[in-house]
Amino acid sequence: MHVAFDNEHALTRQLWRAAFEYPFVSCGKEAIYGLTPKHLTEALAMNRKLGFRQLVETIDAVMFEMKADECRWLKGVEHGRQRVTTITT
C-alpha cells in the first residue's frame, strides 16, 4: 500500500478510507505493513496518527502494522470485509 499526495489539502477522510479499503476490502488482507526510514519524522508521526502500531525498530527504519479489525478508517466494515445486507419484503 502506498499513498501519495501533492499538498495537505488532498489528505481527506475519503482518501484515507479508499487507501485502506483497497488492501482490506478489495484484496481481503488481514494486515498491512509499512517500513519507514527513521529520518522521515513526519511520515513516522503520520503512520502513528493513522493507527499503525510499531512492530520493530532497526538502526535506520521502523516497521509498522495495522490489522483489518483495528482499522478505524473502515467504519461499517467488519474485519476488513464488507457486511452483506439482505433486504426482505
pLDDT (tens digit per residue) in 40-84:
999 999 999 999 999 999 999 999 999 999 999 887 655 445 554
Cell numbers given for 84: 452483506
Q: Encode 53-86: b = buried (16+ Cβ within 10 Å), e = exposed.
A: eeeeeeeeebebebebeebebbeebeebeeeeee
Domain range for 57 is 9-82
Has residue 18 got a pLDDT over 80? yes
Cell numbers given for 50: 493513522
For residue 34, give the nearest of 8, 7, 3 by alpha carbon.
3
Count of domains for the chain: 1
53 found inside a domain? yes
46 found inside a domain? yes
Q: Say what the pLDDT of residue 47 is.
A: 93
